[in-house]
Amino acid sequence: MDFESNYDIAASANFIHTHNFIRVALQFPDNLLKHSTRVVTALRNTLQSTEVGLFVMADTAYGSCCIDEVGASHINADCVIHYGHTCFSPTTTLPAFCVFGKASICIADCVESMSKYALTNSKPIMVLFGLEYAHSMQRIKEALLESSMSCRFDPKSEVHFADVPSSIMFPSKDIKKINVLQEPVSDCNGASGTMYSIGGLTWKLPEGQSMDDYLVFWIGHDDSAFANVVLTFNACEIVRYDANENRMVTDLFQHRRILKRRYYLVERAKDANIVGILVGTLGVAGYLHIINQMMELITGAGKKAYTLVMGRPNPAKLANFPECDVFLYVSCAQTALLDSKEYLAPVITPFEAMIAFNRGSQWTGAYVMEFRDLINLPQMEVGNQEEEEARFSFLKGGYVEDFENQACISSENVEEERETLALVNATEKALQLRNNSNVLMKGSARSGAEFLANRSYQGLNMSSENTSPEPYLIGRRGRASGYEDEKNKQ
């Protein structure tokens, strides 16, 4: 593949020229950073302008699939050109141009595999693909049509392809108008249907049909984009064509197990008292709205919430917050699922939090990865917490209360904040631990202050008897290989 064609040099230069951008940020993932200098040189030769400044960005604070608007703002960039795999999450402040790359694929083998799969199934097929294969879809369509015309493929079998509307993204001002997973639409001819959108792909289904009526044929790698499709359309039969090995993969047992694991984490989250909200993005449109929405949800469920901003989470970082019983990760759809087996506390998604912290809600099997799909959902009203009955915990094997009259406690009331220790003592007396599963279980700490008060070690304690400063001591001087006092002894 030609280098300039693979990196869409001409299209990138046209994007810059058309919108008169002066300061352009070029965002590369780690695996493509080695090509950044050649890309900059090719862009400069094509632009033929000394006024345009090109800035290379790497090592993003969050997922490399998202547009790094925070990094671009450090250089006052007018736009971002993103290279490599992208989740296509809408931006907040800056326009972006996405260069997917052009991965190689054997057209003949892919069409043959698709034809054989279609002949063995009666349902229509929806072809989804990784964005790096978008350049080959037109040739695959033509080869599939040619195969059907030559009677090698049953023309009655329906094969539909998703589309990539555009490589350009503009900031979304109104989060209510952001494209969601599915929404009703009508074309100019009056035909109504449902428009689906996921990971930069869009397609329309006729009225009365849903994705449950289709088979999904995925062309691409077993990556986060594919996991997003598998979990979102978990009721569909899905197969994957591996373009690197030219073979079909039908065993998706590991992906199906993820759903069982996520259901278990929801049950763990129901028993949590302190929730840490991890901010996993600062650029995806609507992230502030969903954080506030989660805060209201958690508070309404009688639990304590803390917002944590730490970049990419890892077990070492989250271990600094042992008071959190569960973490809620707000990020794009393709980085939302963290394998929390190595973490001290489970990490859940906003959708799982909606199920865990809404009393009476049940998981129907449907799974929502994009948090912007939750923004447009009608909010459930929080009932009178004092009249709620205790909830049975499957993990603790007993009844627990999810709240302690916290609706009556104002976080802004300084007087009541001073009585935190008194509340701790009252809590200890109110909740008693017994072996009988028909009585209330003892609750753990319900705030960071209460957790600290119950710890055996609370930091260094200053002696209150002697208030005078201690005399200072002069330490050693020199290097560790030989301090000055050691040299004198020799």
The DSSP call for residue 351 is H
The pLDDT of residue 368: 86
pLDDT-above-70 percentage for the chain: 78
pLDDT(254) > 80: no
Q: What are the structural domain ranges in the chain?
A: 3-99, 107-173+194-250, 259-377
Confidence of residue 371 (pLDDT cuts 50, 70, 90): confident
CATH of 3-99, one of 3.40.50.300, 3.40.50.11840, 3.40.50.1970, 3.30.1360.230: 3.40.50.11840
CA distance 282 to 72: 12
Residues 6+ apart with CB under 8 A from 398: 392, 436, 437, 438, 439, 440, 441
Whether the Cβ atoms of residue 274 and residue 57 lie closer than 8 Å to each other: no
Mean pLDDT of 160-164: 91
Q: Out of 90-104, 145-159, 185-199, which region has the weakest mean confidence (pLDDT)?
A: 145-159
Residue, of 314 and 402, whose pLDDT is higher: 314
CA distance 19 to 209: 40
| Superfamily covering domain 107-173+194-250 | Diphthamide synthesis DPH1/DPH2 domain 2 (3.40.50.11850)
The pLDDT of residue 408: 42
The CATH topology of domain 259-377 is: Rossmann fold (3.40.50)
3-state SS assignment for residue 489: helix
CA distance 224 to 87: 9
* Closest to 297 (Cα-Cα) out of 358, 387, 347: 358
CA distance 181 to 309: 27
**pLDDT, tens digit, 9 for 90 and up, residues 200-225:** 899 988 888 888 889 999 999 988 89
In the structure encoding, which two tokens stand for residue 32, read together? Answer: 């493509």
Q: H-type helices in 189-235, by residue range?
A: 224-232
Other beta carbons within 10 Å of 39:
24
Q: Which amino acid makes up residue 147?
A: S
Residue, of 38 and 406, whose pLDDT is higher: 38
**pLDDT, tens digit, 9 for 90 and up, residues 294-353:** 999 999 888 899 999 988 888 999 999 989 999 999 998 888 877 777 888 999 999 999
b vs e for 438-447, b when ≥16 Cβ sit within 10 Å of the residue's Cβ?
eebbebbbbb
**pLDDT, tens digit, 9 for 90 and up, residues 432-484:** 444 444 444 445 677 777 777 777 776 766 666 767 777 888 888 888 877 87
Write down the pTM of the prediction: 0.78
Q: Out of 7-16, 51-60, 123-132, 387-396, which region has the weakest mean confidence (pLDDT)?
A: 387-396
Residues 6+ apart with CB under 8 A from 72: 25, 27, 57, 80, 94
Q: Out of 199-203, 326-330, 362-366, 373-377, which region has the weakest mean confidence (pLDDT)?
A: 373-377
Q: Out of 208-222, 242-256, 271-285, 437-451, which region has the weakest mean confidence (pLDDT)?
A: 437-451
What stretch of H or E contains 198?
Answer: strand 192-198
Number of H helices, E strands in the chain: 16, 21
Confidence of residue 153 (pLDDT cuts 50, 70, 90): low
Tell me, yes or no, if the two domains 107-173+194-250 and 259-377 fold the same way: yes
Q: Tell me the torsion sign for CA atoms 292, 294, 299, 305.
A: negative
Phi, psi of 400 (to 5 degrees): -135, 155
Confidence of residue 429 (pLDDT cuts 50, 70, 90): very low
Whether the Cβ atoms of residue 129 and residue 218 lie closer than 8 Å to each other: yes
Whether the Cβ atoms of residue 59 and residue 312 lie closer than 8 Å to each other: no
Phi, psi of 204 (to 5 degrees): -120, 135
Other beta carbons within 10 Å of 46:
16
Q: Out of 82-96, 283-297, 326-340, 369-383, which region has the weakest mean confidence (pLDDT)?
A: 369-383
pLDDT(258) > 90: no
pLDDT-above-90 percentage for the chain: 32
